[in-house]
């Protein structure tokens, strides 16, 4: 059945090339973060067959579906034994490659392998930037001090290496806990206040770049950090190849973890999933977006359906047409934009439109 690989399409949406395609090299992870759905995945775990991975990359390049591949969906990509080979294959095909990692497995050897393979972008999901919040990671046999040391050493290694590899270090804030995290019990030690955020950003900025050529001095770092806040996404440029970021924690659609409270579906809202990106899971299943951790939107498998046939398929086209009218069509999309209380659903629905239609576009425009 899988025949079409060319660039001819029946439908006009989504416009190509997409911003990115997520390729899940593995769904396995060495952490068990309380704010992540991975520990409770209902689908089987595994690692992508390398021949399948090669075929995915080659078809992406041949069709022009995207120019950027992100080696991450769920799981920790540094657990994949042939990750550097995958990056090298993508680079040879003219594709940009991004690896998103929790940073625990970063060391000199892995950094050098990835950079040498032509890695375009390394995203370190620091997420918990101090010892108190690190307890949420469920890390075995790893102290916060070791975690911090590995990340700092890896980033500084890249910045002092003659390479084009970009680095982002990101962590989470929790400004409105009752609205953003009603599904979990207990108190989460994530950043909640502007003063705390700015203190941590300043500390990490100095850890990562102090003494490195091309980095701003301490006074410039302090000025940049003063403009940040917990209610929105922040990007602080510390070096031509390094961004320090923070963003409010999202709310994964996990009604099964809502302690028995009903999860209300959204009837309106917007998402850029499938119009700007989609994912291919480790077994080849397609999903609409990077937030579909259990593959609920999977309607086809790469080994049976080509990339372009998938994008032209009825479920994908129906989802795109629905979001064009600000209406989530797929039941999972309705859950993702939904929540355990009507007010939360309304805020998320309206917020999704404002963020994706206005804020996100303005943020991108300022980068150009």
Enter the tokens of residue 4: 């079409």
> CA-CA distance, 172 to 195, in Å (whole number)?
15
pTM score of the predicted model: 0.91
> Is residue 200 pLDDT above 70, yes or no?
yes
Asked whether residue 95 is assigned to any structural domain, the reply reads: yes
Question: Read out DSSP for 265-287?
Answer: PPSS----BTTTEEEE-TTSBEE
Greater pLDDT, 68 or 2: 68
In angstroms, what CA-CA distances link 167 with 24, 90, 240, 304, 324?
Answer: 20, 18, 10, 35, 34
Asked whether residue 181 is assigned to any structural domain, the reply reads: yes
Give pLDDT tens digits for 263-290: 889 999 999 999 999 999 999 999 999 8
Helix (H) or strand (E) holding 242: strand 242-248
Asked whether residue 302 is assigned to any structural domain, the reply reads: no
Let me know: does 36 contact 340? Beta carbons within 8 Å. Answer: no
Give pLDDT tens digits for 313-365: 999 999 999 999 999 999 999 999 988 889 889 988 998 999 888 877 776 66
pLDDT at 367: 56
> Is residue 185 pLDDT above 60, yes or no?
no
Confidence of residue 176 (pLDDT cuts 50, 70, 90): low
- Quote the domain boundaries for residue 210: 20-251
Asked whether residue 75 is assigned to any structural domain, the reply reads: yes
Asked whether residue 322 is assigned to any structural domain, the reply reads: no
Bridge partners for 124 per DSSP:
101, 169
Give pLDDT tens digits for 124-166: 998 888 888 788 787 888 999 999 999 999 999 999 999 999 9
Asked whether residue 152 is assigned to any structural domain, the reply reads: yes
Indicate which CATH number applies to the domain containing 69.
3.80.30
Q: Average pLDDT for residues 4-18, to the nearest whole number?
A: 77
- If one counts the domains in the chain, the total is 1
């Amino acid at each position: 059945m899988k025949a079409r690989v060319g660039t001819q399409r029946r439908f006009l949406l989504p416009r190509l090339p997409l911003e990115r395609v997520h390729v899940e090299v593995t769904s396995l992870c060495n952490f068990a973060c309380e704010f992540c759905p991975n520990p409770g995945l209902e689908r089987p775990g595994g690692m992508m067959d390398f021949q399948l991975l090669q075929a995915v990359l080659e078809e992406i390049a041949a069709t022009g579906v995207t120019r950027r591949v992100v080696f991450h969906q769920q799981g920790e990509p540094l657990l994949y034994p042939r990750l550097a080979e995958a990056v090298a294959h993508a680079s040879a095909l003219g594709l940009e490659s991004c690896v998103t990692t929790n940073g625990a497995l970063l060391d000199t050897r892995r950094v050098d392998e990835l950079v040498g393979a032509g890695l375009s972008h390394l995203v370190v999901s620091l997420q918990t930037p101090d010892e108190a919040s690190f307890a949420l990671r469920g890390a075995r046999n790893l102290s916060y001090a070791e975690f911090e040391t590995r990340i700092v050493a890896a980033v500084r290694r890249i910045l002092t290496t003659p390479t084009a590899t970009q680095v982002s270090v990101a962590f989470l804030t929790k400004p409105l806990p009752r609205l953003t995290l009603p599904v979990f019990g207990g108190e989460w030690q994530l950043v909640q206040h502007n003063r705390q955020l700015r203190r941590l950003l300043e500390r990490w900025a100095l850890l990562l770049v102090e003494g490195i050529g091309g980095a701003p001095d301490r006074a410039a770092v302090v000025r940049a950090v003063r403009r940040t806040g917990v209610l929105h996404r922040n990007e602080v440029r510390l070096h031509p190849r390094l961004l320090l970021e923070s963003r409010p924690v999202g709310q994964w659609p996990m009604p099964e973890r809502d302690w028995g409270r009903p999860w209300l579906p959204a009837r309106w809202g917007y998402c850029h999933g499938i119009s700007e990106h989609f994912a291919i899971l480790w077994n080849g299943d397609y999903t609409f977006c990077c937030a579909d951790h259990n593959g609920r939107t999977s309607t086809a498998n790469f080994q049976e359906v080509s990339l372009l046939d998938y994008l032209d398929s009825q479920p994908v086209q129906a989802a795109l047409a629905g979001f064009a009218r600000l209406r989530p069509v797929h039941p999972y999309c309705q859950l993702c934009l939904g929540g355990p209380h009507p007010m939360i659903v309304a805020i998320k629905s309206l917020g999704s439109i404002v963020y994706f239609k206005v804020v996100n576009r303005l943020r991108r425009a300022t980068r150009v």
